Chains A and B, each alone.
Chain A
Amino acid sequence: MPTRKSAPPAALRPTPPPPNPEPVDKKNWPLWEIFIRSRQGLSHRHVGSLHAADAEMAVENARDVYTRRQEGASIWVVPANAITASSPDEKDVLFDPADDKVYRHPTFYDLPDEVKHM
């Protein structure tokens, strides 16, 4: 295997900060959505949002705003305008395909009482 001379393996490098969402608006800083992993083994969860001039500042502010009581093991900050959301008005249509598929649930299947642990 060739030895790597320059950069350490990707896994050992800190994740590069994401590009800024847009040129900094001097007045209203961009809005960032904040996701916190409360401890190893759990997924990141949305906790709220905040304003910051750039991604690094968003991480630092998120530390102060959302983890004052050891609530965090990891923080994600995502530019709010980078999120594409489904429309609540189309909610019924969008989720409709799952409505008539009860057979996707284990409770759909009747089993004889003799069958245990299935």
Chain B
Amino acid sequence: MEMDLLQRFEAYIASDKKIEPKDWMPDAYRKTLIRQISQHAHSEIVGMLPEGNWISRAPSLKRKAILMAKVQDEAGHGLYLYSACETLGVQRDDTIADLHSGKAKYSSIFNYPTLNWADIGAIGWLVDGAAIMNQVPLCKCSYGPYARAMVRVCKEESFHQRQGFQIMMTMAGGTEDQKAMAQDALNRWWWPSLMMFGPPDDDSPNSAQSMAWNIKRFSNDELREKFVDLTVPQADLLGLTIPDPDLKWNEETGHYEFGEIDWSEFKRVVSGHGPCNKERIETRRTAWDNGEWVRDAANAHAEKRAARRAAADTAAA
């Protein structure tokens, strides 16, 4: 019986059919998805924090409205993903508790601070750009609910990258000081953005299995290269310099070659020792605790409404 189920699962994967929540799936497939989707959801939620810092400091009402819309989208994306994760049989509150206890990870990029307004431009342009690069192939991943959530996310995210690039354009075309701020933001966000694609292929133990299951469609290095190829000309357009002395165009391969990534920094930040790891989790925990009265009030309100309805039903009967 188990064998038949496994064969059917593998046949589905081989023929590029989607796996849906109630279909039989190997435990390891389920676990991999729970880990990946919940981390993805946490990244959306924690990802609101570096930008939330600038909502009250945005330089104009228009920029503020745009930034709020972007942060609201990220909350929404977190919710789509938590829902997708729950279809695999986990409870929402347990997932969130894992984030707060430090058991679950999220994208290490959000452990860097946003020091000035140009960082909001750099995040939209580079961080959302890298995220889109990662997420577009996930729209075709083998697990139906995850793929559907990614379709919505990708549709909404393209404005995020454009608004970031527009901020960079405005600053790069501004005063010398503004241009210097834009360059400084690029200097600080460039390497962490390249790290968003994950460790190099020869040091990415789970990649092969994820690719065999059609969860992952391109390797970390392939996506990273694609990102560099697309982004370097955009930096040229902005008149900004990519902070990599080894960056050069390779005529033969048709790709850019770029310098060595400092993987020790990546490992340090992932393992909890980045500039803002503690602050991010602390902020999430505080938000959860401070929101307790809101949840209590919603419960009380729901009970009151239910009691009223019951009384009305009794009266009508």
Binding site for B on A (CB under 8 A): 17, 19-20, 24, 26-28, 31, 48-51, 53-54, 56-57, 64-66, 68-69, 85, 87-89
Q: Is residue B92 within 8 Å, beta carbon to beta carbon, of the partner chain? A: yes
A65 touches B76 (CB 8 A): yes
CB-based contact A24/B149 at 8 Å: no
* Contacting pair B92 A87 (CB below 8 A): no
CB proximity of B163 to chain A, nearest CB, Å: 15
Q: Determine whether B23 belongs to the interface, using a CB cutoff of 8 Å to chain A.
A: yes
B148 nearest CB neighbor, chain A only: A48
Residue-wise, chain B 282-311 has the 8 Å CB interface mask toward A (1 for contact) of: 000000000000010011011101100100
Question: Which of B22, B84, B156, B309 is in CB contact (< 8 Å) with A88?
Answer: B22
A24 touches B299 (CB 8 A): yes
A85 to chain B, nearest CB (A): 7
The 8 closest A-B pairs by CB, nearest first: A53-B302, A54-B302, A53-B298, A49-B83, A88-B22, A88-B23, A48-B83, A65-B79
Asked if A48 and B149 sit within 8 Å, CB to CB, the answer is yes
Q: Are B305 and A89 in contact (CB under 8 A)?
A: no
CA distance A53 to B72 in the complex (A): 21
Please indicate the chain B residues that have their CB under 8 angstroms from the CB of A87 in the complex.
Answer: 22
In the complex, how many angstroms separate the beta carbon of A13 from the nearest chain B beta carbon?
14
Report Cα–Cα, A57/B306, bound state, in Å.
12
Contact assessment for A26 and B93 in the assembled complex, using a CB-CB cutoff below 8 Å: no
B73 touches which one: A26, A28, A68, A88 (CB < 8 A)? A68
Residues on A with beta carbons closer than 8 Å to the beta carbon of B93: 27-28
CB distance from B7 to the nearest CB of A (A): 14
| Cross-chain contact B156 with A69 (CB below 8 angstroms) | yes
Interface range, B side: 20 to 34
Checking B23, B76, B92, B299 against A68 with a beta-carbon cut-off of 8 angstroms, the contacting residue is B76
Contact of B309 among A19, A31, A53 (CB under 8 A): A19
- Give the residue of B24, B92, B149, B305 whose beta carbon is less than 8 angstroms from that of A28: B92
Per the bound structure, the CA–CA distance linking A17 and B298 in Å amounts to: 16
List the A side residues contacting B190 at CB < 8 Å. Answer: none
Partner pick for A51 among B20, B84, B92, B156, CB 8 A cutoff:
B92
Q: Across the interface, which residues of A come within 8 angstroms of B86, CB to CB?
A: 31, 49
Q: List 8 A-B contacts (CB under 8 A).
A: A17-B309, A49-B86, A51-B92, A65-B79, A68-B76, A69-B156, A85-B22, A88-B22
Shortest distance from the beta carbon of A28 to any chain B beta carbon, whole Å:
5
Question: Shortest beta-carbon distance, B236 to chain A, in Å?
Answer: 32
B80 CB-CB contact with A under 8 Å:
yes
Contact A89 B24 (CB under 8 A): yes
Q: B90 to chain A: closest CB distance in Å?
A: 11
For A50, the chain B residues whose CB sits under 8 A away are 79, 83
State whether the Cβ of B91 lies closer than 8 Å to any Cβ in chain A.
yes
Q: Which residues of B contact A85 (CB under 8 A)?
A: 22
